[in-house]
Amino acid sequence: MAHLLYVPVVHSSADMGSAASGYKAAFIARFGDEKWEERGEEYTAIWHAIHDAVDQAIERFGGPLQHVKLYQDSLPVCDHEAEMVAQMTAQGSENHRLLSVLIERGAILVGTEALELLLEEYRILQAPDHNEADASDLLKRRDRFIAKRIGETLGENELGILFIGALHHVDRYLPSRITVEFLTIKRG
């Protein structure tokens, strides 16, 4: 059997790229600077808890990190995955910082998404008349692609770790040979 640790994530402003400054400005305008700072501290605490829980899951797995494969929401299959993770880490993404730490320890980064589906999502979300049905259909197509990609690249007796946005349901489309464990974290 292959094993997959399913890590639902909430994206930070650092994960939003060019949209981050607009998001931060809108948040502060609505809730204030103090709430923005509190949100940042909570986000950091959550990622420290995720890091600890991922380390515990790897320890339970017991295999070498060369048998651990990392899958990341919005990371396209291309020849530049490691550079993209390094860039997001440098921008302050806790999610990508954890990926970088695991890669340094020997885990294998795997391109996870179809670039054309990510570009389609960008176009849909930028369109002034986009509708939720189109976005929902695209999310399902992305989930199917991600599940297929995991099925093709995660071998027997390997552990995959999928960092995925909370709206996704990749687990519904995974091959039955992959057992899924949903990450639970303990905070405080």
Query: Is 33 domain-assigned?
Result: yes
Predicted pLDDT at 131: 83
**Separation of alpha carbons 46 and 52, rounded Å:** 10
Q: Is 6 domain-assigned?
A: yes
**Distance in angstroms (rounded) separating the CA atoms of residues 108 and 94:** 18
Q: Examine the pLDDT at 12 and tell me if it is beyond 80.
A: no
157 vs 64, residue with greater confidence: 157
Element (H, E) at 32: none
Find which of 22-26, 28-32, 68-72, 180-184 is predicted with most confidence, using mean pLDDT: 68-72
Q: How far apart are CA 90 and CA 180, in angstroms?
A: 31
Does residue 32 lie in a domain region? yes
Total of domains in the chain: 1
Q: What is the band of 32 on the pLDDT scale with cuts at 50, 70, 90?
A: confident
pLDDT more than 90, % of the chain: 66
Residue entry with tokens 């990510």: 118
> Do residues 69 and 158 lie in contact, with contact meaning Cβ atoms separated by under 8 Å?
yes
The model's pLDDT over 111-133, given as tens digits with 9 standing for 90+, comes to 999 999 999 988 887 888 878 88
Task: Please indicate, yes or no, if residue 110 is contained in any of the structural domains.
Answer: yes
Of 126, 112, 108, the residue nearest 165 (C-alpha): 112
Q: Establish if 187 belongs to a structural domain.
A: no
Mean per-residue pLDDT, 144-149: 98
* Residue 188 resides in a domain: no
pLDDT bucket at 153, cuts 50 / 70 / 90: very high
> What is the residue range of 164's domain?
2-182
The Cα 40–Cα 42 span in angstroms is 5
Please check whether residue 91 lies inside any domain of the structure.
yes
